[in-house]
Amino acid sequence: MSNRRYKPKPNYFWSILSVSVVLTFVGIFFFFTLHSYDVIEQVKGSFEIVAELQPGVKDQQQRELITFFKEDTAVAAESVTFVSREEALQTLAGEMGADLEVAGIANPLFDAIIFKLKPTFSSQAEVQALEGRLAEQEVLISGMHFQGGLMDKIIANLERLKLIFLVAGIILVLLAMTLIFNSIRMSLYANRFLIKNMELVGASWGFIRAPFLKTSVWHGLLSALLTLVVMLGIFVGLQQYVPEISSYLNLTYILYIIGVIVLGGILLNLVSTYHVVTKYLRLRTRDLYR
């Protein structure tokens, strides 16, 4: 019979896996939270305002109006375009799938100037302020059309969603710390006697912690790498169903997220391992058997 005694070895698999799972959720949270700002800005800047011109407005007056809109502080100058009533009728006919001129329908449309507001000025109140600045141009403009109410509702819902993500993120971080700490504590449970024996023979706490902290750094990097692979797989799969998601990607945000995941994986492992090893060092020898 062998005289070798069985020595349990720490199982780091579950600690690495648990950290990776937590980092995946944290990465997804940061992805949607950071990109939500860009989405809101794009939504704000996507609503068009149509300023219909009075019949008989001359070309010079049209150019003056276009210049007025381009120079207004609330208007995105590059978005200002003039659309004649004939062009508008052709567009309408294309959407309806019928030749309205052949059908003998009189053109009910007006010449119009179409433009968008800058994201910081995109609200119903700003449109009303713009209408006030257009007071002297009333003889040229018959009316302005803008879905301000719809835009305000969409933006309000996006802001609520962003707040929900923030609250969920705080809760996630608290749960993550608990899960990771318990997983690392269980993985180091088999080494509790080794830790105590090293202390009993005179090793300093710093010397005892060093190899465990070094191992925790590698485990953190491994967890981060596994997280990035999982997130890449999620993104590739999501892109198959929502191809438009690529247009919202921000490279700077992606780099931030990668940095958070890598640093988060290392720091979470380091801090948790430090506390676990310190806890075993503070235990009395008889408490190690519990």
Residues with Cβ within 8 Å of residue 204, at least 6 apart in sequence: none
Q: What is the pLDDT of residue 3?
A: 46
Q: What is the pLDDT of residue 228?
A: 92
Q: What is the pLDDT of residue 52?
A: 84
Buried-state track 100-138, b at ≥16 Cβ within 10 A, e below 16? eeeeeeeeebbbbbbbbbbeebbbeebbeebbeebeebe
- What is the pLDDT tens value at each position of the chain, 290 positions in all? 444 444 445 566 777 887 888 888 888 888 877 777 777 777 777 788 888 888 878 888 888 888 888 888 888 888 888 888 777 767 666 666 555 555 556 666 778 888 888 887 777 777 778 877 777 666 678 777 776 666 677 777 777 877 787 787 777 777 767 777 777 777 667 677 777 778 777 778 788 888 888 988 998 899 899 999 998 888 888 778 877 777 777 888 888 889 989 998 888 888 888 888 887 777 666 655 55
Contact assessment for residue 86 and residue 156, using Cβ atoms and an 8 Å cutoff = no
Length of the chain as a residue count? 290
Structural domains of the chain sorted by starting position, each given as residue range(s) with its CATH number in brackets: 13-42+154-289 (no CATH), 48-146 (3.30.70.3040)
Residue 139, phi then psi, degrees to nearest 5: -70, -15
Contact assessment for residue 225 and residue 269, using Cβ atoms and an 8 Å cutoff = no
